[in-house]
Amino acid sequence: MSSGMGANTRSKALSWLAALAAAALVAVLLVTLLRGEDAPEDMSGREEKVAAPGRDSPSPGLPPPGPSVAPPGVATVTDAGVTPGLVSEAPPSDATPTQHPVDLEKLRERLPGNLYWELGAPTKDPEVLRKRAEETQRWNTLFGKVQSNTATEEEIHQYYDHRRQVSEDYIAFASMVLQEYGAQLSEQERGLYELSIQMHRTRLSEMPGKVDDALARARLQNQRRETWRGNEGGH
């Protein structure tokens, strides 16, 4: 009898331990997801990133059409509110590379001043990557000032004007890819370009409200600062 009760007790203890372990795993996953939502904004323009709707990531990427000869792409989900993009996957050494239909050089001639070339076009040039990193830091710093209500009105307009230009240029680039090469792209690639256009259009539609909100917060912060200084001076 005691042996049966002991086995029953051990069984219950193991069940509790399993439940606690499962709860701990869920907690870890939730913390990871929340940290991802609060991650710093990314302006690197890496081609595998496409920012999610409603996020304030300054320059979401586009699925890369790849170089003139590109291996197959695979879908991936990256960090900080980013949605699927295409990432090049190296083919086997004995595989014959397939010609990717998108001709970047022709697109560059059609859209010479488009910010995609500066922020998101595939490259291994260390100088270009260095400049992108510097731009990332510069715009992230300004974004931090906007978020903390320490940016001037001029800086707020500067930040959102840049965001607007990025979205407009990425829409133009993705639209031209679909117009010129859509029939030759895989269903997955077409879907990613269409998703990018949709998300940038959403951003553009939300931008006036974001500008007004940032300006209102900055003005309120300035009023509070002036009131505080007046009170300090009165003492």
Is the pLDDT reported for residue 93 higher than 70? no
Task: Return the minimum-mean-pLDDT range out of 53-57, 82-86, 117-121, 146-150.
Answer: 82-86
Mind giving me the DSSP string for 72-84? PEEEE--SSSEEP
Task: Return the structure tokens found at 167.
Answer: 């979205």
Mean pLDDT of the chain: 72
Please tell me the predicted confidence (pLDDT) of residue 68.
Answer: 35
For residue range 163-217, list pLDDT tens digits in order.
999 999 999 999 999 999 999 999 999 999 999 999 999 999 999 999 999 999 9
pTM (two decimals): 0.62
* Confidence at 109, pLDDT banded by 50, 70, 90: very high
Give the mean model confidence (pLDDT) for residues 114-124. 93
**Domain ranges within the chain, ordered by starting residue:** 1-38, 42-234
Tokens 């939730």 map to which residue?
A: 30
38 three-state secondary structure: coil
Sign of the CA dihedral with 128 first, then 62, 42, and 141 last: positive
Rounded Cα distance between 147 and 25, Å, is: 32
What secondary structure does DSSP assign to 131-184, as a single string?
HHHHHHHHHHHHHHHHHTT-S-HHHHHHHHHHHHHHHHHHHHHHHHHHHHHGGG
Determine the residue type at 129.
L
Distances (CA, A) of 137 to 43, 58, 67, 133, 154: 8, 11, 27, 6, 19
pLDDT at residue 224, as a whole number: 87
Question: What is the percent of the chain where pLDDT is above 90?
Answer: 51
Q: Within 13 A of 73's CA, how many CA atoms are on the CB side?
A: 26
CA–CA separation, 88 and 118 (whole Å): 20
Band (pLDDT 50/70/90 cuts) for residue 28 is very low
Joined together, the tokens standing for residue 28 give: 């870890």
Antiparallel, parallel or unpaired: β 73-76 and 85-88: antiparallel
pLDDT at 11 > cutoff 80: no
Residue 39: per-residue pLDDT? 37
Q: How confident is the model at residue 67, as a pLDDT?
A: 40
Higher pLDDT, 215 or 6: 215
d(CA 55, CA 28): 23
Residue 36 in this model has a pLDDT that exceeds 60: no
Contact criterion met (CB below 8 Å) for 74 and 86: yes
Over range 96-124, report the average pLDDT: 88
